[in-house]
Amino acid sequence: MPRLVNYAARLRIGGVGTVVVLGSINMDLVVRVRELPRPGETVLGDRLQTIQGGKGGNQAVAAARLGGSVRMSAALIVVDASGENVIAVAPGANSRVGTDDLARLRAGLGAGDVVVMQLEIPLDMVLAAIDVAHSAGARVLLNAAPSGVLAGRAMPHVDVLIVNEGEAAELGGDSLRRAVGALVVTLGAAGSVVYERDRATRIEPHRVEAVDATAAGDAVVGAAAFALARGASVVDAVRLGNAAGAAAVTKMGARPSLPTPADLKRLFGIELDEFVKVRT
């Protein structure tokens, strides 16, 4: 299980929780085209870019770029002129995550930590990791993408579930609200909705010019995890996530687009202290 650790994670400074990511790491091959190809169609694109990616890797970097304490346990992407994309994933080593990785996840895990997972690794490992995190007193943030493998399954001990509209429908729609601690449905350029304790909170979007939406969802997840590990409420965490997702679409490429605190301040006038509360 590859790790991405900064010094704050090693020192565990000031009661700040660590964001622990168990998930996929890919190498993205990105081609920019005028329009996405239809089935059976061949289109010409411009230069090929090779960029580090994968939902797990992107979400870890998204949290780390904001200053989070993070540790971490080939995709082909085609992007059109409006920033829309299609993605095909070859799982490779991601499909071999196993019990040794769960042991590394368990080591040092405790209350205040936030464990982030997606569904690009074996489902049985995801479900086992959820139990590991819950037993350690950590919070579980699950980004249920791709959602098909989880359809019809129970989601015990998931504190925050983040999905887009299509994934929410595939996983049960309104019934999801009762299945997890908090449900976050991302709406792309329309913002997000947080469902928590029978209350729905609409998070308004930030208006930007989209260049590439490849890592927007990962930016939302990583920034939300960063804020949760610093004591923010789910609603405030998603507000920060929305801003990070909007910032991410303004640049080309998954990993390079993930914003820093300076990016959020420059684009939206956001200071991280508005969203996070360090526990002492």
Selecting among 113, 159, 212, 218, the annotated active-site residue is 218
Max intra-chain CA distance, the chain = 58
CA distances from 205 to 186, 187, 190, 200, 246 (A): 10, 9, 6, 16, 8
Known catalytic membership, residue 218: yes
CA dist 145 and 184 (Å) reads 13
Query: What pLDDT does residue 147 have?
Result: 84
Q: How many CB atoms lie within 10 A of CB 191?
A: 18
Per-residue tokens: 177: 């609200």
Higher pLDDT, 96 or 68: 68
Tokens at 184, concatenated? 């976050």
* Phi and psi angles of residue 182, each rounded to the nearest 5 degrees, phi first: -145, 140
- C-alpha triplet 254, 63, 274: angle, nearest 5°: 120
Higher pLDDT, residue 219 or 59: 219
Q: Is the pLDDT of residue 1 over 90?
A: no
* CATH architecture under which domain 7-24+55-73+95-274 falls: 3-Layer(aba) Sandwich (3.40)
Chain mean pLDDT for the chain:
81
SS3 (DSSP) at 184: strand
Does the structure show a pLDDT above 70 at 72?
no
* pLDDT tens for each residue of 172-183: 888 888 889 999
Higher pLDDT, 25 or 92: 25
Average pLDDT over residues 195-209: 93
**pLDDT tens-digit readout, 219-251:** 999 999 999 999 999 999 999 999 999 999 999
pLDDT value at position 14? 41
pLDDT band at 47; cut points 50, 70, 90: confident
Left, alpha or beta for 260 (phi > 0: left; psi -120 to 50: alpha)? beta
Instruction: Name which of 9-18, 202-211, 216-225 the model is least confident about.
Output: 9-18
pLDDT classification of 73: cutoffs 50, 70, 90 = very low
Average pLDDT over residues 140-169: 88
pLDDT above 70 as % of the chain: 81
What is the rounded CA–CA span in Å between residue 95 and residue 8? 30
pLDDT at 37: 78
Question: Per-residue pLDDT for 5 more than 60?
Answer: no
Higher-confidence position of 191 and 174:
191
What's the pLDDT score for residue 8?
A: 31
Strand order in the sheet with 160-164: 70-72, 19-22, 114-117, 139-143, 160-164, 182-186, 192-196, 199-203
